[in-house]
C-alpha cells in the first residue's frame, strides 16, 4: 500500500561489521532469510554528503543522499536526531528521522541557505528486506572524484551492516522484528546498538 513516507518518524537502528572472509556467508544467509532476494539482493551505490549550519553556538547537521545507480531518483534530504542508546530495556538505538525527497538542485539550495559541506562518502553494497526491516551491507569509500567510481578508495576492507526499521512512534513492535532478525544473523555478525557511521 502506498503511504507517504516523508515527515517525522522514528527509526530503530542496529550496526555491526563483518570481515571480507565472512561476507559471503552473510550474504548467503540474507538471501535465505530475506524477501525477494533469490537473485542475490539489490546492489546500490549511494553518495552521501553531510552539511552543517551554525546558528550562533548551536549547530545542526543534515545529510543529502543521492543514488548514483538511479540518476532519475529524487535526492533525499535527511535529518537524524540524536541516537538514543542509553535505554537498556530497548534492544536497538532509536532516533527521530525527518526526510524529504528533493530535486537535483538540492546542494545549490543548501549552499545558498548557508549550509557548509563537511564530509562526503560513497556507499556501495547490497540492500535486503525482511518484512519491515531493511538490511544494508556496504563499504564506505572516500571519493576523490565522484564521476570516476573506479578511483575511489575504501576506508576499510570490512563491511558495515546496518539494520533499520521505521516506526510511527517510539514504542512500536518494529523493534521486536529488528531484534529477532538480528538474532538470525548470529554468529556471523554481532549487531549492536552503536552509532556505526561515526
Partner 1 sequence: MEDMKVSLESLYTNKVKEIDYEGEEHYQERSSLSQHVTELAQRVDFSEVTEGKEGEPAVKKATQKWPWEQPHSKLKQALTEVSVLADMLHILHDHRHYMAMDTVAPRPTPSLPLAFQYIVKKKALARAAEILKRGTEALTHSSSREERAFHRALAELRRRWRVRRAPNGNILGDLGYSTAGSTHVPQSRAIFEVKKSTGTESSQAVSQPPAEEQGKEKEILSITIFRELRGSSEVVIFLSSSPVRACESMSAVGTIPRVPPRRPLPSWETKILAAQNIIFNQELFSHLTKEAYNTKTTLPYEVYTDRIIAPLSLNPPCWLSVHHVREYDDNKQRLEPVVVVPSELPPVRWDLVVAAKLLLRQRHLRSVALFPPRPTSTRYTDNPTLQNAGANALSDSKIKTADKKDNIFQSLLKMAKHMHNEERLRQWLVELVGSSRGDPVLQLHWVPSLSMTETAVYLHVKSEGGGHSVNVQLSVETVTVGLVEGGTASCPMDKDKLLGILRHQVVVYQMFTAVQVAEKASWIILQSFTRPQLSSTLARDSGNYLEACNILLQSPDAHNKLDILLEWKHVSVSKTHTNASDADGPCTATKFKMDSKFGQSFHQRFSNLLGTMA
Closest distance between partner 1 and the C-beta of residue 141, in Å?
A: 15
129 binds partner 1 (CB under 8 A): yes
Q: Per DSSP, what are the bridge partners of residue 189?
A: none
- Looking at beta carbons only, is 55 or 72 nearer to partner 1? 72
CA of 146: how far to CAs of 66, 108, 142, 153, 167, in Å?
Answer: 11, 17, 9, 11, 33
Q: How far is the CB of 30 from partner 1 (least distance, A)?
A: 14
- State yes or no: residue 85 binds partner 1 (CB under 8 A): no
67 in contact with partner 1 (CB under 8 A): yes
With binding defined as CB under 8 A, does residue 36 bind partner 1? yes
Does residue 4 interact with partner 1 by CB under 8 A?
A: yes
At closest approach, how far in Å is the CB of 166 from partner 1?
Answer: 6
Under rule CB under 8 A, residue 29 binds partner 1: no
Q: By the criterion CB under 8 A, which residues form the site for partner 1?
A: 1-6, 35-36, 42, 44, 46, 63, 65-67, 69-70, 72-76, 78, 99-102, 123, 127, 129, 134, 136, 166
Amino acid at each position: 500500500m502506498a503511504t507517504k513516507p516523508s515527515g517525522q518518524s522514528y527509526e530503530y537502528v542496529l550496526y555491526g561489521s563483518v570481515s571480507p572472509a565472512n561476507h559471503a556467508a552473510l550474504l548467503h544467509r540474507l538471501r535465505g532469510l530475506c524477501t525477494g532476494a533469490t537473485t542475490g539482493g539489490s546492489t546500490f551505490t549511494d553518495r552521501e554528503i553531510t552539511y552543517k549550519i551554525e546558528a550562533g553556538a548551536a549547530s545542526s547537521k543534515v545529510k543529502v543522499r543521492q543514488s548514483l545507480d538511479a540518476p532519475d531518483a529524487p535526492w533525499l534530504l535527511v535529518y537524524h536526531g540524536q541516537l538514543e542508546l542509553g535505554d537498556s530495556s530497548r534492544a536497538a538505538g532509536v532516533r527521530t528521522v525527518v526526510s524529504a525527497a528533493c530535486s537535483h538542485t538540492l546542494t545549490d539550495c543548501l549552499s545558498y541557505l548557508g549550509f557548509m559541506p563537511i564530509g562526503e562518502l560513497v556507499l556501495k553494497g547490497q540492500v535486503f528486506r525482511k518484512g519491515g526491516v531493511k538490511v544494508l551491507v556496504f563499504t564506505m569509500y572516500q571519493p576523490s572524484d565522484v564521476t570516476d567510481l573506479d578511483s575511489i578508495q575504501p576506508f576499510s576492507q570490512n563491511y558495515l551492516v546496518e539494520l533499520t526499521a521505521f516506526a510511527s512512534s517510539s514504542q512500536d513492535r518494529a523493534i521486536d522484528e529488528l531484534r529477532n532478525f538480528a538474532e538470525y544473523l548470529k554468529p556471523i555478525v554481532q549487531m549492536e546498538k552503536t552509532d556505526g557511521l561515526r
